[in-house]
Amino acid sequence: MSGRATIPSQAGAAPLLSVRDFKLAFDTFDGVYQAIDGISFDLAPGESLGIVGETGCGKSVTAKSITGLLPSPPARVRGGQILFDGEDMLRVGEARLQQIRGNDIAMIFQDPMTYLNPVFTIGTQLVDVIMAHQRVRPRAERMRRDAARDHAIDMLGRVHLPNPERQLDAYPYQLSGGMRQRVLIAMALSGRPRLLVADEPTTALDVTIQAQILDLIHELRVEFGLSVLMITHDLGVVASVCDRVVVMYAGQIVEDATMARLFDHPAHPYTRGLLAAVPHPGRPAASLSSIPGSLPNLLDPPVGCRFRDRCALAGDDCRRPPPITAIADGHKVACWRSPGESDAGA
Ligand SMILES: Nc1ncnc2c1ncn2[C@@H]1O[C@H](COP(=O)(O)OP(=O)(O)OP(=O)(O)O)[C@@H](O)[C@H]1O
Ligand SMILES: [Mg+2]
């Protein structure tokens, strides 16, 4: 966005995160729910990637799988790899996952109150998180509790919480929703992670506060050299913080494009539907549910294109699964009817 610091591009560098043909199902009473079906994407160091799609398309399941936070059972990995800096998160084991979550990957969520304990002060909780990070560090590098308190004040300052020292004594209920999200961001970044996974971090906030939190994430990205995976159903959020975006539909990736390509040349009919639902000045906002129809039942997924039943362009060829194919530099789409390079976005 204009006026924002640019972030050195490391496109072409080895990916920090590489999701390869990842498949995951939930074992339920009704059968096997095939939530994620063979998704692949890369995130370069320093890059900010958005994952967008309607409710239930598999965004949070993907985010939690990356950080190893999905309880199994009922979740069951059915194939693929999630490589973080070359290590497969699906196979490293809980002890190593905890270490990676403490040091390298942090996550923030929609509702900060769920992750803050109402009976402890902000200071106690933030210092506890900082101390927990120390346990996975070599003994000589560990911080003592008084230094952790100083670090907590420093982190609260970096997320622009007014009077950081005084806020240490505040209880979560004494803070507004936006301030609580700032505290959670301070907690997430206190271990100096390389990757921040943000799952709908602004959805519960009102619009002005949303913009402030997105600005903060962008600012911290520059300051900490962070990679960001931003999960949202809101293309406006993606437009303001992401370099690239993958569009998910019913547990699959249907489009993967740079921001500019996505907005100027959307190729998948589903992406076009999402974009049509983005509010414009002078045009009333439609909701994402304005795309007629609903997600297919993944207990018995349709063969072929999963968007077929909702797609105005669908034909007989759409009964075969469309492979994800490059249509331009930095732009892939899975659709038999997608426009080619020359007429995309027409
Ligand atoms: N523990 C579970 N058991 C069974 N099904 C589950 C479980 N967790 C998630 N699912 C299913 O997996 C699908 C994907 O869920 P997910 O939470 O990833 O959606 P989402 O894209 O994050 O949606 P939202 O925008 O509403 O957050 C949903 O249909 C959901 O019902
Ligand atoms: Mg979700």
**Ligand 1: which residue has its CA nearest to atom 3?**
26
* Amino acid at position 341, single letter: E
What local confidence, expressed as pLDDT, does residue 341 receive? 45
Distance 137 CA to ligand 2 centre (A): 32
**Ligand 1: which residue has its CA nearest to atom 9?**
61
Q: Do 197 and 54 sit in the same domain of this protein?
A: yes
Distance CA 55, CA 213 (A): 22
Number of domains in the chain: 2
Q: Which of 19, 30, 34, 61 to mutate to test the pocket of ligand 1 (most atoms within 8 A of CB)?
A: 61
What local confidence, expressed as pLDDT, does residue 100 receive? 87
Residues ≥6 apart with Cβ < 8 Å to 274 = 52, 53, 54, 235, 247, 288, 291
What local confidence, expressed as pLDDT, does residue 4 receive? 58
Q: What is the CA angle 120-125-128, rounded to 5? A: 130
- Is any ligand 1 atom within 6 A of the Cβ of residue 60? yes
Residue 2 lies in a domain: no
Q: Do 177 and 290 sit in the same domain of this protein?
A: no
- Is any ligand 1 atom within 6 A of the Cβ of residue 35? yes
**Ligand 1: which residue has its CA nearest to atom 25?**
55
What local confidence, expressed as pLDDT, does residue 78 receive? 93
Quick one: the chain helix, strand, coil %, rounded to 5? 35, 25, 40
Q: Which of 29, 57, 67 to mutate to test the pocket of ligand 1 (most atoms within 8 A of CB)?
A: 57
**Omega of the bond leading into 8 within 30 degrees of 0 (cis):** no
pTM of the model as a whole? 0.87
Of 324, 264, 51, nearest in space to 275 by CA: 264
Residue 292 CA: distances (Å) to CA of 202, 274, 287, 310, 316: 26, 11, 11, 6, 20
Q: Do 232 and 260 sit in the same domain of this protein?
A: no
Q: Do 330 and 237 sit in the same domain of this protein?
A: no
Distance CA 190, CA 183 (A): 10
Last residue of a domain, one of 185, 218, 242: 242
Distance CA 75, CA 33 (A): 9
Last residue of a domain, one of 226, 242, 258: 242
What local confidence, expressed as pLDDT, does residue 288 receive? 46
Of 8, 103, 104, nearest in space to 48 by CA: 8
Residue 90 lies in a domain: no
Q: Do 56 and 183 sit in the same domain of this protein?
A: yes
Which ligand approaches the C-alpha of residue 109 most closely? 2
Q: What is the pLDDT of residues 182-202, one digit of tens each?
A: 898 888 888 889 999 999 888
What local confidence, expressed as pLDDT, does residue 144 receive? 82
Q: In sequence order, which ranges of 8-144 are alpha helices (DSSP H)?
A: 59-66, 94-103, 112-115, 122-135
Distance CA 43, CA 46 (A): 8
Which ligand approaches the C-alpha of residue 54 most closely? 1
Task: With residue 145 as reference, give the H or E element that holds it.
Answer: helix 145-158
Q: Do residues 159 and 196 touch, judged by C-beta distance below 8 A?
A: no
Q: Mind listing the pLDDT tens digit of every residue in the chain (346 residues)?
A: 444 555 655 556 789 999 999 999 999 999 999 999 999 999 999 999 999 998 889 999 999 999 888 888 889 999 999 999 989 999 998 888 888 887 899 988 887 777 888 999 999 999 998 888 877 777 777 878 888 898 899 889 888 888 898 989 999 999 888 888 889 888 888 888 999 999 988 887 787 788 888 888 888 888 888 999 999 988 888 888 899 999 999 999 999 999 999 999 999 999 998 888 766 555 555 444 467 888 899 999 889 999 999 998 888 999 999 999 999 999 999 999 886 544 444 3
Q: Which domain holds residue 110?
A: 45-65+95-242
User: Residue 242: what are its φ and ψ, rounded to 5°?
Assistant: -110, 150
Distance CA 37, CA 45 (A): 25
- Is any ligand 1 atom within 6 A of the Cβ of residue 33? yes
Q: Do residues 248 and 39 touch, judged by C-beta distance below 8 A?
A: yes
Distance 150 CA to ligand 1 centre (A): 39
* Closest ligand 1 atom to Cα of 71: 1
